[in-house]
Amino acid sequence: MTNLRFTEQPLSEWMSREGKESDIVMSSRVRIARNVLHQPFPMLATNTQSEEVLKLLQQVLGDEQLQAQCQLYPILLADLDELDKRVLVEKHLISPNLANDSRNGAVFISEDESLSIMVNEEDHLRIQCLYPGLQVQEAWEKATAIDDIFESHVDYAFDDRRGYLTSCPTNVGTGLRASVMMHLPALVLTQQIGRILSAVSQVGLTVRGIYGEGSEAMGNLFQISNQITLGQSEAEIIENLYGVVLQIIQHEKTAREKLIGESRLRMMDRVMRSYGILSQAYIIDSKEAAQRLSDVRLGVDLGIIEGVSAQALNELNVLTQPGFLQKKFSGSMSPGERDMYRAKLIRERMGK
């Protein structure tokens, strides 16, 4: 049942495509949480009950409509070692929660990795769609189409007043989490990021790091998502997020124009210093690597650096994570060893 090719390539196929506003919006994601009627939530389920849920949801993979939409490859978490689980987390194909603590956990992944369906995570079913750039509406349309297929086979836990019932009260209602991953270096450099993110929280949205709740916003990457799932329709949630993201994009563009207009030489110096360090360093930790890669990405977007593709930077963002480093260089490493191999890998890629 194991298909390890998903842990061998750092760049998912969907990441190599272009999307709207992709110089600022790295990706759009929609996640739908659902639970099976008359089955306890995963955290309360026995091994037998969680196994029943897995078997029930696996049966849906044979649906003709689903197969017409995409081919899904099932992977049991029990078949993976800890390193492969970590790699799937680094590629955003599974959550840290599913990797660390799941009973009969599984994931169904599409060929291009734009669709992953987690089973027996915090909820029985979590349907996730990932698209490049600002395509939150398109991601929602895909996710809800897949959700409809599962709902035609499985009775969901649903309340007429509260909507879809979920393990965490903050997901009750639509069960929908829509988010965009944004690269906002100019707002950070001009010290406007605090004010912008504070305003975001006032309109029902929340800001997280690159791996969701509880994670750090490294490399000037911020995940903006809806905070409210109850009392709003799916369309209202998507529309609100989309509108706010457009405003943040405009603020970031204005800040970039200010940086390049008022302090072009300083920006060139910052970008080229980071490029030089990445090209020549023999030791670099993940936090510094993320920041230097952010500087280079900004330099590419501003036309300061030529010959470096966004796709190459996307690949490096994944390759330099601890799991992928150990996967690539075949073995467990100490933090110091990872810092040396990370620098080696970046030097080689920058040299190309």
Cα 225–228–144 angle (5° rounding)? 70
193: annotated binding-site residue?
no
219: annotated binding-site residue?
no
180: annotated binding-site residue?
yes
- Going by C-beta distance under 8 Å and a sequence separation of 6 or more, which residues neighbour residue 135? 19, 20, 28
235: annotated binding-site residue?
no
First-to-last CA distance in the chain? 37
- For residues 75, 4, 33, 142, the Cα torsion angle rounded to the nearest 10 degrees is -110
Both tokens assigned to 122:
């915090």
12: annotated binding-site residue?
no
Q: Please, what's the largest Cα pairwise distance for the chain? A: 64
**Closest by Cα among 236, 227, 214, 128 to 170:** 227
**Closest by Cα among 109, 98, 114 to 43:** 98
**Closest by Cα among 163, 41, 56, 43 to 97:** 43
> What are the CA-CA distances from residue 165 to residues 36, 91, 95, 140, 168 (Å)?
9, 28, 20, 19, 9
Q: Give CA–CA dist 194/179, Å, rounded.
A: 19
208: annotated binding-site residue?
yes
Burial class (CB in 10 A: 0-12, 13-18, 19+), 49: middle
173: annotated binding-site residue?
no
Q: Give CA–CA dist 126/334, Å, rounded.
A: 34
Q: Is 200 helix (H, G, I), strand (E, B) or coil?
A: helix
177: annotated binding-site residue?
yes
22: annotated binding-site residue?
no
213: annotated binding-site residue?
yes
343: annotated binding-site residue?
no
153: annotated binding-site residue?
no
212: annotated binding-site residue?
yes
- For residues 72, 76, 79, 83, the Cα torsion angle rounded to the nearest 10 degrees is 80
Q: Are 11 and 318 within 8 A, CB to CB?
A: yes
210: annotated binding-site residue?
yes
**Closest by Cα among 278, 273, 271, 281 to 305:** 271
Can you say which residues are annotated as belonging to the binding site?
27-31, 92, 126, 177-181, 208-213
Can you say which residues are annotated as belonging to the binding site for ATP?
27-31, 92, 126, 177-181, 208-213
